[in-house]
Structure 1
Amino acid sequence: MLELRPNCECCDKDLPPESSEAMICTFECTFCADCADNVLGGACPNCGGDFARRPVRPAALLAKYPASTKRILKAEGCAPVRAA
């Protein structure tokens, strides 16, 4: 089950469970759509993978399966993945 992380790892923007702006990679690294597209160029700075829109968990299931409250922020800031 997805963690539904609460913020963008790059700019710390809030990304609530119902957000259509949340983007994730296959490791669930979470970024807002603006950072994913305009700062990171569509590649995760942690793993190099691409992003997909994070699914929205139905509100009726959030009580039983709540979103994560652990905020993750890249202390060193965000930079695009450089091609080798």
Structure 2
Amino acid sequence: MLQLRPTCEHCDKSLPPAALDARICSYECTFCADCVESVLSNVCPNCGGGFTPRPVRPSKNWKNDNYLGNDPARTEIKHRPVDAAAHAAFSADIKAIPPEAR
């Protein structure tokens, strides 16, 4: 089950469960869309993968208790600002490769 982390790991922007600008990689590293585009060049600084919009968990119990009230978002913040220069060096060779081909 997705952790639904509460903030962008880089800029610490709040990303509540219904945030449409939350982005995740396949390891659930969580960043805001602005950081993914302007700082990270769609390259996860932790794994090198790409990002996708984070799904929004239903806020109402539509079926079988699969909703935010039963499976709440995480509250622990994981704030790990990215060193822009180090990330630029890391991502230089792979940012042109589509995420599905990395």
Bigger relative CO (Cα 8 Å, ≥ 6 apart): 1
Q: 52, 62, 71: which one pairs with 2:77?
A: 71
User: SS of the residue aligned with 1:62?
Assistant: coil
Q: What percentage of residue pairs aligned between the two structures are identical?
A: 52
The number of residues matched between the two structures is 82
Note the 1:50-69 alignment, pairs <5 A: 50-60=50-60, 61-69=67-75
The Cα RMSD (Å) is 1.2
TM-score (norm: length of structure 1):
0.92
State the 1:42 CA deviation.
0.4
Structure 2: 5+ residue runs without aligned partners? 61-66, 95-102
Structure 1: 5+ residue runs without aligned partners? none
TM-score (norm: length of structure 2):
0.77
Match of 1:13 in 2: 13
- Partners of 2:37 and 2:47 in 1: CA distance: 16
Larger-Rg structure = 2
